Amino acid sequence: MRLGVLDVGSNTVHLQVFDTHNGARPNPTFNYKEDLRLTEYIDSSNNISTAGIDALRSAIKNATTQAKAVQTKELLPFATSALREASNGPEIIAQVNKEFEIDLQVLSGEDEAKLTFLATRRWFGWSAGRLLVIDIGGGSLEIASGTDEAPEVAVSLPLGAARLTKDYLTGDPFTSKSIRALRDHVEAQLESILPALVQHQNTDRAIATSKTLRTLARLTGDWFGGNGKIITLDSIRKMPAKLAEMTLEDRIKLPGVSANRARQITAGAFVTESVMRNLDLEKLEICPWALREGVILKYMDWTER
């Protein structure tokens, strides 16, 4: 069965097509992505602007056309924090669903955390024990912990790398004042959820997913030694200051860092450092599966019933 996952996120509109069947591992066969940076189109009234709506419609039109071209049997479209939190989000989703004859659904932050946790559990297996899973997106941070396929704790905070960059970081390089404001905000947000994550103390493995964390793992490997598949607390402590002193042009030149990712990788590094320090995590292991794979796995579980 050929299934397509259409991820309408804060950074990108991303279509990923998988060939799979019940009991099989999802096999990615086609990929289409457009950088959208939807958070940059949100105005002071928390509405996505007309220009943002037009850009979103264009990206979804292109993605659905691509899905049809590769003969996708079923399209599973979902939206995350940017559309979830925009005041005119419901209106936009209704318009998009009618125009393109799809069923774009908004995932809650908790749903994001649960589906990402499911994908991670399936990747590492039951022998991995208790997992703590961290995912940094464009608009939000998700953290989940547990021993089963459904986490015991699943939380979401508005600490996405694109959101924080837009709301807090100014200058090129970023100013010290804006960096301090960012750090204070991140620490305050994390403090609110730490009691819910007390069970992390028994974690067997701490896992990182998402493009931001994969990029940071690669950079820490290049700069401080390693294989690019883990992020250590020692290396991430050095990373934010190193990135913050660079210009945007400098960051774009870093290996594996796209122009879009270069804008927000500094904020992502600060969030990662704060999470690892506050949760006493010595290292994070990178998992190649994340939210999109979780959506596919959940759908396949449902079809087996």
Q: pTM score, two decimals?
A: 0.96
Span 8-53, pLDDT tens digits: 999 999 999 999 988 889 999 999 999 999 999 999 999 999 999 9
What domains appear along the chain, each with residue ranges and CATH number?
A: 2-106 (3.30.420.40), 110-286 (3.30.420.150)
Residue 16 parent element (H or E):
strand 12-19
Neighbours of 37 (CB within 10 A): 20
Q: How far is 88 from 100, CA to CA, in rounded Å?
A: 18
Confidence (pLDDT) at 202: 82
φ, ψ of residue 149 in degrees (nearest 5)? -80, -25
Whether the per-residue pLDDT at 151 is higher than 60: the answer is: yes
Residues with Cβ < 8 Å from 242, sequence gap 6 or more?
223
The 3 state secondary structure assigned to 219-282 is HHHHHHCCCCCEEEHHHHHHHHHHHHCCCHHHHHCCCCCCHHHHHHHHHHHHHHHHHHHHCCCC
- From the number of C-beta atoms within 10 Å of its C-beta (0-12, 13-18, 19+), residue 213 rates as buried
Q: How many angstroms separate the Cα of 247 from the Cα of each of 40, 225, 254, 261, 266? A: 20, 23, 11, 13, 11
Confidence (pLDDT) at 218: 94
Span 120-134, pLDDT tens digits: 999 999 999 999 999
Name the band, by pLDDT with cuts 50, 70 and 90, for residue 225. confident
Measured over the CA atoms of residue 242, residue 248, residue 252 and residue 258, the dihedral's sign is positive
